[in-house]
Amino acid sequence: MEGRHPARFINCYVDTQSCNLRCGYCYIGQRKAFDGTLFRCRYPLETMREATLAERLGGVCIFNLCAGGETLLSPDILPVIRMLLENGHNVSVVTNGTATAAFERLLELPEELLSFLYIKFSFHFLEFEKRGLTGCFFANVHRMQERGISFSIDITPCDELIPFIPKIKEMFWREMDGALPHISVARDTSSRELRLLSRLSKEEYREVWSVFDSAKFDYKIQEFLHPHREYCRAGNLSFSLDLAGGNCRICDGAPEPSKMDFYNLYERPQEAVPFVEIGHGCPTAHCYNCHALLTLGTIPELETPSYTQMLDRVERSGRHWLSERVREFYSHRLMPAKGA
Ligand code: SF4
Ligand code: SF4
C-alpha cells in the first residue's frame, strides 16, 4: 500500500545506552549515562508487528531508529528492522558505521526489503582516527552502497574538528567520489535553552561549517533558536515511540518530555490510535529535529526544503546516495490516509 506520500514520521528511541566510541559531543556522553544497556523488546515481535501495521498507522510510515548509544549494537534490533520493512514501512537507521557484523546480517535481507532501508552513517572522525576505525567505516558504507541501499553520511560539528576540515574534505573526495558529508548542528543538552555546543558565535559557526555546502546544515543553522508558534501537527503526523515498550510521545523537544506521553502503541494493537496534535503549543526554543519534522510538513504552512534535500548527495559519476525510490518518497510531505 505504498503511496506517493509517507503517512507518518515515527521517531523511534532504541533503548541502548552503550557504545564502542566516546565522542565529546555525544548527548548521552554529556550526561555521563553510558550504562551498558542494550535494547531488548518488551513485547513479542508478533504484537509489535500487529501494532505497526500500515493500515493502523494510516499508510507507509518512516520509522527512524536512533539509540542513546550505537543503534546496531543490540542483536534484538535486527528482527525489528526486518519486521517493520516487512510491514511495508521505510526504515531509517542511525549508526556510527562500525558494527560490521550487523551490516552483514542486514545484507542477508531480501532485495525488496533492502530497497526501502536507509542508513544514516555518522562520521566521527576524531574517534575513528584514535581507534583505527576509519577504514572499517568506509568499508561498511561501500558495502551498503554496492547493494544499492540508500544512505547518507553526516558529521556532528565540534570545535576540535575544525583543524581537520581540509583533511576530511580530501578523504571524502577520495572515498566518496567527491561527495561531501552533510553537517548537523550540535546542541549543548545541558543548557535548557539549547545553546550551540561550541565556543564560536552562531555567525562564526555558520562560516566555518558552511564549507561543506550541506543543505542540511544551512537549514538547521537557519532554524537554530527560531521558535515556532504556528500550528504544528506533531502527535499526529509525527510522534516519538519508545521502540521497546511502545510508549508514544507527542514530540521529544519538550524540556519535560514525560508530559508529552499520549498512548501505548503495543498494549491494544487492534485499537485505533488516538492521535493528538500539539497545535500552537510547541514547547521548545526551536524545532529540535527540523531537518526531518519541518521538511516533512509537521507545520503545514511553512515553506521548507524537502527531506530528500537534507540527505541526498550526488557523486562525480552522477550516482546518488539515495535510491530513486527513496528520493521520491522523501520528497513528499506526510499525509496519512483519511480516518487513520
Ligand atoms: S557514536 Fe554516537 S552514541 Fe557513540 S559516543 Fe559517538 S555520538 Fe555517542
Ligand atoms: S515545531 Fe518541531 S519541536 Fe515543536 S512541536 Fe512541532 S515538531 Fe515538535
| 83-130 tens-digit pLDDT | 999 999 999 999 999 999 999 999 999 999 999 999 999 999 999 999
Q: How many domains does the chain have?
A: 1
pLDDT at res. 193: 65
Domain assignment present for 3: no
pLDDT at site 340? 78
Is it the case that residue 3 has pLDDT exceeding 90? no
Closest ligand to residue 232's CA: 2
Residue 96 sits in which domain range? 9-330
Span 318-335, average pLDDT: 98
Compute, in angstroms, the gap from residue 186 CA to the centroid of ligand 1.
Answer: 13
* Residue of 248, 277, 282, 302 with the most ligand 2 atoms within 8 Å of its CB, for mutation: 282
Cell numbers describing residue 46: 508478533
**CATH number, domain with residue 80:** 3.20.20
Nearest Cα residue to atom 6 of ligand 1: 23
| pLDDT at residue 30 tops 90 | no
Question: Looking at the predicted structure, is the pLDDT value of residue 181 above 50?
Answer: yes
Tell me what percent of the residues of the chain surpass a pLDDT of 70: 95
Q: Using a 6 Å cutoff on CB, does residue 70 contact ligand 1?
A: yes
pLDDT bin (cut points 50, 70, 90) of residue 285 is: confident
Is the pLDDT score of 298 beyond 70?
A: yes
3-state secondary structure of 94: strand
93 lies in some domain: yes
The answer, yes or no, to whether residue 258 has pLDDT greater than 90, is: no
> Residue 1 — very low, low, confident or very high, per pLDDT cuts 50/70/90?
very low
Tens digit of pLDDT for each residue in 307-317?
A: 999 999 999 99
Tracing cell 550504562 back to the chain, one arrives at 35
Mark 124-150 as b/e (b = at least 16 C-beta within 10 Å): bbbbbeeeebbeebbebbeebbeeebb
Is residue 204 assigned to a domain?
A: yes
In a domain, 152, yes or no: yes
Q: Is 336 part of any domain? A: no
- Residue partners of 15: CB distance under 8 A and separation at least 6: 37, 39, 40, 67, 68, 242, 243, 244, 245
Predicted confidence at residue 192, as pLDDT, reads: 63
* pLDDT at 211 (0 to 100): 98
Structural domain includes residue 13: yes
By the 8 A CB rule, do 222 and 313 touch? Answer: no
Question: Do residues 246 and 276 make contact, with C-beta atoms less than 8 angstroms apart?
Answer: no
Statement: residue 255 has pLDDT above 70: no
2: in domain: no
pLDDT for res 282: 92
Comparing CA positions, the residue from 182, 177, 261, 263 lying closest to residue 215 is: 182
User: Is there a domain that residue 4 lies in?
Assistant: no
On the CB side of 16, how many CA atoms lie within 13 Å of its CA?
Answer: 23
DSSP-H helix ranges across the chain: 27-30, 45-51, 77-86, 100-106, 111-114, 125-131, 134-146, 165-175, 202-209, 215-223, 290-293, 307-311, 324-330
